[in-house]
Amino acid sequence: MNLVPPVLAGDRLALARLLSLLENETPEGLQDLSALYPRSGQAHRVGITGAPGTGKSALVNRLVQELRARADPPQIAILAVDPSSPFSGGAILGDRIRMRDLSGDPGVFIRSMANRGSLGGLARTSSDLAAALDAAGFGIIFIETVGSGQAEVDIAGAAHTVVVVDAPGMGDAIQALKAGILEIADIVVVNKSDLPGAKTTLTALRATLELAPAVRDKDKGSDWTAPLLLTSATSGEGIPELAEAIGGHRRFLEQSGEWEVRERARVDQEVGRLLRERLAERFLKAQPDGLYEAALQKVLAREAAPGVIVEQLIEGADAAN
């Protein structure tokens, strides 16, 4: 069944079905995505990352309500990527709260991914899902990840704009992780501003950000200075300012040429990853049965190092052609 026409016509059930096909990496899904791809390229992908407990989901919900209440609002999609265990139930719980806050607005679409497979798989499928949402006409796509590991940061980092969310009282345990995440931030938010210690957290973050301007400038290759905002999803404090900052960053990206730089880097990464995977699949398919296994056995018997074995495999195939 070709899901392209209904998806382009705004059929949400067809969209949900397509996203499931893409999440399961089916050929039908990829075929539909190829057909949709020329329609993509308009959406502003906004990564939202931060440690568990910083209130990211509630913040995004509030932010989406703010954006949707404005004149001529964009359609908004939320893609919640939760690579943690199904035991945690985070994705499911978050969805329930979301349904309460945002259901009833047909301009908002919410999708959770709780993929237990490889992270490479997660990065690829989340990128495919974002492309489908982009083609389906969503002007802003929030990509929410638990930003405590490099790989989760990579997923959020593939966005045009990265918002890093912190909160007071997260404890010293989180401190060591912060610096690495802050390096990719375009906007830094201290959420739960109603809690005691919010100002202290803000001051500490400002100091950390000021410590590392050289690295940030080099990494970004631009002169954007990440704004530092206090927000509260409960009271709504700072939510309009966050919406402004996100819009302001998009304008900065477009005017500075940085939008193209980031798009190119993202596409390069994605094409490179697909190329490596496809070449290896084709290569292994063309080999005699058991050759790869025999190569593994040689490494296991310590007859040769993995790098040497791989060279032998490739050279053997060359000689056979």
Decide if 213 contacts 251 (C-beta within 8 A): no
116 C-beta neighbours (distance < 10 Å), count: 10
Q: Which is nearer to a second copy, 199 or 276 (CB)?
A: 276
Least distance (Å) from a second copy to the CB of residue 175?
Answer: 7
10 to 14, 78, 245, 319: CA distances (angstroms): 8, 16, 29, 53
Question: Residue 307 CB, nearest distance to a second copy (Å)?
Answer: 6
Beta carbon of residue 297, minimum distance to a second copy (angstroms, whole number):
9
> Which residue's CB is nearer to a second copy, number 147 or number 245?
147
Q: How far is the CB of 59 from a second copy (least distance, A)?
A: 15
Q: Measured between alpha carbons, how far is 73 from 64 in angstroms, rounded to an integer?
A: 10
Closer to a second copy by Cβ: residue 20 or 103: 20
Task: Return the number of the residue (10 or 272) whose C-beta is nearest a second copy.
Answer: 272
Helices (H), the chain: 4-8, 12-23, 27-36, 56-68, 90-102, 119-135, 150-157, 172-182, 198-211, 213-220, 239-256, 258-286, 291-300, 306-320
Choice between 99 and 279, CB closer to a second copy? 279
The distance of closest approach from Cβ of residue 38 to a second copy in the complex, given in angstroms and rounded to an integer, is 5
For a second copy, the closer of residues 69 and 93 by Cβ is 93
Task: Report, in Å, the least distance between residue 202 CB and a second copy.
Answer: 18
CB 260 → a second copy: shortest distance, Å? 8
Listed residue (108, 128, 155, 157) closest to 23, CA to CA: 128
Whose Cβ is closer to a second copy: residue 66's or residue 228's? 228
CB-wise, 247 or 304, nearer to a second copy?
A: 304
Residues in Cβ contact with 167 at an 8 Å cutoff, skipping those fewer than 6 apart: 50, 53, 54, 55, 190, 191, 192, 195, 198, 201
Q: Rounded to whole angstroms, how far apart are CA atoms 266 and 276?
A: 16
Regarding beta strands 76-81 and 108-113, do their DSSP bridges make them parallel or antiparallel, or are they unpaired?
parallel
In eight-state DSSP terms, residue 38 is G
Cβ contact 201:190 at 8 Å: yes
> How far apart are the C-alpha atoms of 115 and 124, rounded to whole Å?
12
Q: How far is the CB of 159 from a second copy (least distance, A)?
A: 16
Q: What are 241's two structure tokens?
A: 């300012």
- Asked if residues 82 and 48 have their Cβ atoms less than 8 Å apart, the reply is no
